[in-house]
Each structure stands twice: as structure tokens, then as C-alpha cells.
């Protein structure tokens, strides 16, 4: 029985290895809920994955990502959020306000990380920025606050502006709040405001018609999934109409718009991966304070402006963080 010790050791090793291989934690599964189309939100998903990568995650290796997109049809969001919940994901990353709201309705306990919410406190997502308390946390775009600033910058760029049209979605809580701020600013700036409610794609044509009819001399586009999805349509209309426009997102400028003043959505979504990481490591979303953006960028597309024959006042150029020539 010379081999007995060897066999014993082997058996012990097997006994030690077997449970540990069994006990290897299952790869965490997270959900990503977008409001626009997969194609339009592709750069955001990429940024999100980049953020995860920076935190040491490799999709398929140590994290699984379930993605759902509403293709701009916000009424589909609750069903998609329910799908993710049914998949028993550990975290739902729902960057846009509408997606986060839908996820919140579906699940009171699955952690939800948002990234593009204008005012999470007003929206009822969190109790306070420092202590969210519930199952939601993430990053604020402070877009509600920035609405007034955008109108001011639009006026500074085009001092002759007197009548500005605002495209917003009254179903979106952030939009309503922002509109109030914008209206206050308009009074200060001596601008007459033309708020135009657009809740779905079909409503763009009538809105455009009204802008033309009412002789609006500037356009302010608030960010919401409907506008975001139809950004090409919007930019095309402004260009065609030679309408000075201020957009709430860089993506519109990328599509040919004249200027935007906002946080970087991609940057926000990338940062939200940090929250996902912390939650996967055991943090409670309610304990993670909501982050405010530190960089708000003014992007001017002089090329587009020139093409439209628009002249932007030089003082705004001083403020511009990025100028496309």
C-alpha cells in the first residue's frame, strides 16, 4: 500500500478543488435600458462598456449585459424594463430619464443607475443628492438648471433674438421643470417664448409649421428621447430654415446643429459604470450620492453657422470649449 498517502493527498486535493469550482460566483448580469434606437444610442452603450472596462469588467467574461432599446417609443419602456427584471439582472443601467422612470415603476428593489437625468430630486428618483435612499442613483445632467443658461447663450450668440421657439415633451417631468426656468429667463432677456409640445415623431411637422408661421427667430431644443431620436430631422429643419438653434446635447451639433451647451452624455454614461461597479461590489444604491457634472461644454459649429449664413457674436466664442470650423 505504498500509494496510499499519494492517493489520500489526491483525494484531498479533489475534495478541496471540487467545492471551490462549484462555489465560483456566477457572472453578474446587468441590464442596459435605452430610450432611443440601438443605433442612435450606440455611442452611449460603447461609452458604458468602456466605463465597465476601466473598472475591470470584460463583457462575456466577468459581466453579462442585457440591452433593451425602446426606439424612441417611450410607451414601450415599461415592458422592456419588466423584461430586464424578469431576467433577474443585478443592476439596471437606465441612463435617460424616461428609461429610469420606467425601471423605477417596474421594480422597487433592483438597483437602477441613471446617467442623463436633469433633476433626480424633482423627478422623485432620489430623496436627496447626498443620500438617495431608495434603489436609484446615478448622475445628474443638471439640465433643468441649464435651460435658462442655454437661452442666455442663444441670446448672446444671436443678440437680435426676440422670439424663440422651444421644443419640449410635456410628458417628461424634466422638460416641464426646464420650461418653467426657460420662461423665467426669457422674461429677463426680453425674449418672447414659443413653447411647442412634441410627444411623438408625428408631431414634429405641425410644430415646424408653427415655427414658420409664428416667425420665431431662434430655436431652443430641450433634450428628451423624442427629440434625441429625431435629431437629424430637427437639425435638418433648422438648417433649412436658417434658424439659429441651441441644442441641449452635443449629439445635435454632431448631426450638423449650430451649438449646444451640455454635459457630455457619453461621458455621463461612461461614469455611470462606476456606480454599477460599486453596486455589484455590494454598495447600496441608496447610499451612493448622485454625482453632478463638473464639465459643461459649449460647442459651436461655425462651419454649420457659416453654411446657414448665421453670424455668432465673438463674446460667445470666448466661452466656447470646442469650436468646429
Partner 1 sequence: MPTKARSQLFRKYVVYFAMLVTTTLLASGLSGMYLSYKENVAALVELQHEKAIGTAYKIEQYMKEIEHEIGWTTMPQAFPEITVLDQRRVDYLKLLRQVPAITEIGYLDASGKEKLRVSRLAMDILGSDKDFSNDPEFTEAKTGKTWFGPVYFRKETEPYMILAMGASRDDTGVTVADVNLKFIWDVITQIKIGKAGYAYVVDAHGRLISHPDISRVLQQSDFSQFSQVRAALTNARSSSATVQRAMIADNADNEPVLVATAPITALGWAVLVEQPRTEAFAPLYASMLQTGLLLLAGLVLSLLASLALARRMVTPIQALRAGAAQIGAGILDHRIDVRTGDELETLAEQFNHMAKDLQESYSSLEHKVEERTQQLEIASRHKSAFLANMSHELRTPLNAIIGYSEILAEDAAAQSNIEAVSDLQKIRRAGRHLLALIDDVLDLSKIEAGKMQLAGTDFELRTLVDDTLLVVQPLLVRGNNRLETRLAIDGVVMHSDAVRVRQVLFNLLSNACKFTHRGVITVAALRDTTTQPERVVFSVRDTGEGITTENLEQLFQPFVQAKTIGRMHDGTGLGLALCRRFCELMGGEITVVSEYGKGSEFTFWLPVNARHLEGTSAS
**Can you give the binding site for partner 1, defined by CB under 8 A?**
128-131, 142, 145-146, 148-149, 152, 185, 188, 278, 283, 287-292, 294-296, 315, 318-321
Sign of the C-alpha dihedral, residues 291, 34, 71, 79? negative
What's the closest the beta carbon of residue 179 comes to partner 1, in angstroms? 16
Residue keyed to cell 408625428: 202
What's the closest the beta carbon of residue 293 comes to partner 1, in angstroms? 10
Closer Cβ to partner 1, 84 or 186, answer by number? 186
Query: What is the residue-wise DSSP string for 180-208?
Result: HHHHHHHHHHT-EEEEEE--SGGGHHHHH
Closer Cβ to partner 1, 82 or 296, answer by number? 296
How far CA 197 is from CA of 36, 123, 167, in Å, comes to 19, 19, 6
Closer Cβ to partner 1, 98 or 166, answer by number? 166
Lookup: cell for 131 = 443620500
Sign of the C-alpha dihedral, residues 286, 288, 293, 294? positive
What's the closest the beta carbon of residue 271 comes to partner 1, in angstroms? 9
Closer Cβ to partner 1, 229 or 274, answer by number? 274
Count helices and strands in the chain by DSSP H and E runs: 13, 12
C-alpha dihedral, 213 to 196 to 41 to 112, nearest 10°: 180
Closer Cβ to partner 1, 22 or 295, answer by number? 295
Closer Cβ to partner 1, 66 or 145, answer by number? 145
What's the closest the beta carbon of residue 11 comes to partner 1, in angstroms? 31
How far CA 8 is from CA of 12, 20, 139, 201, in Å, comes to 6, 19, 56, 72
Amino acid at each position: 500500500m505504498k500509494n496510499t498517502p499519494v492517493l489520500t493527498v489526491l483525494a484531498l486535493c479533489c475534495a478541496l478543488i471540487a467545492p471551490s469550482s462549484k462555489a465560483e460566483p456566477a457572472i453578474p448580469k446587468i441590464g442596459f435600458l435605452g430610450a432611443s434606437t440601438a443605433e442612435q444610442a450606440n455611442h452611449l452603450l460603447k461609452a458604458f462598456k468602456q466605463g465597465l472596462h476601466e473598472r475591470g469588467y470584460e463583457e462575456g467574461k466577468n459581466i453579462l449585459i442585457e440591452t433593451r432599446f425602446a426606439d424612441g417609443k417611450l410607451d414601450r419602456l415599461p415592458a422592456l424594463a419588466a423584461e430586464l427584471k424578469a431576467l433577474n439582472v443585478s443592476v439596471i443601467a437606465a441612463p435617460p430619464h424616461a428609461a429610469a422612470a420606467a425601471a423605477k415603476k417596474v421594480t422597487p428593489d433592483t438597483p437602477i443607475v441613471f446617467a442623463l437625468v436633469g433633476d433626480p430630486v424633482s423627478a422623485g428618483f432620489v430623496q436627496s443628492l447626498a443620500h438617495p435612499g431608495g434603489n436609484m442613483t446615478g448622475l445628474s445632467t443638471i439640465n433643468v438648471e441649464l435651460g435658462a443658461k442655454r437661452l442666455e447663450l442663444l441670446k448672446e450668440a444671436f443678440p437680435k433674438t426676440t422670439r424663440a421657439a422651444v421644443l419640449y415633451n410635456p410628458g417628461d417631468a424634466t422638460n416641464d421643470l426646464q420650461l418653467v426656468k426657460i420662461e423665467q429667463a426669457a422674461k429677463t432677456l426680453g425674449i418672447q417664448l414659443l413653447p411647442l409640445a412634441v410627444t411623438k415623431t408625428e408631431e414634429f411637422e405641425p410644430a415646424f409649421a408653427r415655427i414658420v408661421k409664428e416667425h420665431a427667430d431662434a430655436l431652443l431644443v430641450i433634450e428628451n428621447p423624442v427629440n434625441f431620436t429625431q435629431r437629424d430631422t430637427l437639425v435638418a429643419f433648422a438648417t433649412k430654415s436658417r434658424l439659429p438653434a441651441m441644442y441641449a446635447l452635443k449629439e445635435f451639433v454632431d448631426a450638423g446643429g449650430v451649438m449646444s451647451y451640455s454635459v457630455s452624455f457619453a461621458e455621463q454614461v461612461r461614469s455611470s459604470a462606476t456606480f454599477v461597479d460599486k453596486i455589484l461590489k455590494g454598495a447600496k444604491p441608496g447610499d451612493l450620492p448622485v454625482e453632478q457634472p463638473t464639465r459643461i461644454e459649449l460647442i459651436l459649429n461655425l462651419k454649420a453657422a457659416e453654411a446657414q449664413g448665421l453670424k455668432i457674436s465673438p463674446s460667445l466664442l470666448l466661452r466656447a470649449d470646442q469650436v468646429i470650423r
